[in-house]
Amino acid sequence: MSEPASDRTIPNELTVETQDAEDPRPESGVPRSPHSLPSIDTERHTLHSDTDSAIGSFSDVSSTISLRSSIYRNVEENGRTYHSYKEGKYVLPNDEPEKERLELQHTLWAVTFGEKLFFAPIGENLQNVLDVGTGTGVWAIEFANMFPSTKVLGTDLTPIQPLYVPTNCSFQIDDAEDDWNFNEKFDYIHGRALLTCFTDPKHVLTQAFEALSPGGYLELQDPVYPLRYVGPPAVNSNLYQWVELCIEGSTKLGRPWNNVVNYKRWLEEIGFEDVVELNFYMPTNPWAKGKYFKQVGALLQENYMNGLEAMSLRVIGALGWTAEEIREFLVRVKRDVRDPSITAYCPIKVVYGRKPL
């Protein structure tokens, strides 16, 4: 499926706001000021079209995998609900506020990537596609609409996907850390925001390699922690402390949040060829220059405001904090998230590679 041409470009420089300006695009890869970040890839990112946006037939999760009714029950904790299948493996909730945040997060990814769902050169003739850790299934549904002749499967630990989906899209409850026993090989495997999920990410990526058809692609899209700063890091801020606590807590839980920087090396070590790493930046609020970064920053700010509690209760709780102490602390963290003088940003890495022919 070809993509329509577009004049939309993604800025490749992030700078502190000094005046209203259009999206900056430096003429070279050299930053233009001491407060600039290194340039990122300057290729043109065109928009995907979605000509088949109607949600069609009924897809029953139970038709894909035999599920006990207990899987649909939730575990209640500190006023939030969590998955019961493989209880405790995933640290974020699965309740309505979290589902709404995941939908907002999908919009954040879309704006950051210029509406692209993927970057790997996967071509048009796809038979089977897998979305690992599909969450609410929104990426899988949009991909299925874009490629109506492709079978798209989304897997997750919790059944929070919609019942009415495109006819070529289905979901099943599955743990990606278990042995992969799919009946078919995949032409493309996608994973987004998986940094919080796995005790041994490289093992999961190795299983993805085995599950791909020769010539198939694996693509990962993930935030990089800890946050970075333009200028000196705000080490005395509550936001900085929150990130440090989350990394410490996630490490104690066996699922550290700082593994994304290893993705490219792991794919190469596993045996993927033509591995590509693309870099993007999300300001934590609209502090940066340019309409593009202001929009991204506003969305990430909203994502944090709605998701800090979900991201913190179990992770910081692993360090011995009570839910009340965490919530009191998050009041101060949210104040920092809204503070434009704290010029923090979240690097984003897109890494993809091809299984040898």
How confident is the model over 83-106, as pLDDT tens digits? 676 665 667 777 888 899 899 999
Question: Is residue 213's pLDDT more than 90?
Answer: yes
Q: Tell me, what's the pLDDT at 54?
A: 28
Domain-located, residue 343 = yes
Provide the pLDDT confidence category of residue 18 given band limits of 50, 70 and 90.
Answer: very low
For residue 87, what are the CA distances in angstroms to 36, 115, 155? 44, 34, 16
Residue 314 lies in a domain: yes
pLDDT recorded at residue 36 = 33
At residue 212 the predicted structure's pLDDT band, cuts being 50, 70 and 90, is very high
Q: Which domain, by its residues, includes 89? A: 74-355
Q: What is the pLDDT of residue 225?
A: 96
Domain presence at residue 177: yes
Residue 24 lies in a domain: no
Provide the mean pLDDT of the chain: 83
pLDDT tens-place string over residues 289-344: 999 999 999 999 999 999 999 999 999 999 999 999 999 999 999 999 999 999 99
Instruction: Name every residue whose Cβ is closer than 8 Å to that of residue 79 and which is 6 or more positions away in sequence.
Output: 323
Give the residue-averaged pLDDT of 62-66. Answer: 40
Q: What is the pLDDT of residue 185?
A: 97
> Within a domain: residue 52?
no
pTM: 0.82
* 281 falls within a domain: yes
Is residue 20 in a domain?
A: no
What is the signed CA dihedral for 158, 160, 164, 169, rounded to 10 degrees? -40
Total domains in the fold of the chain:
1
User: CATH number for the domain including 200?
Assistant: 3.40.50.150
Q: Which of 130, 134, 113, 112 is nearest to 122 (CA)?
A: 130
**Rounded-to-integer distance, Cα 283 and Cα 293, Å:** 7
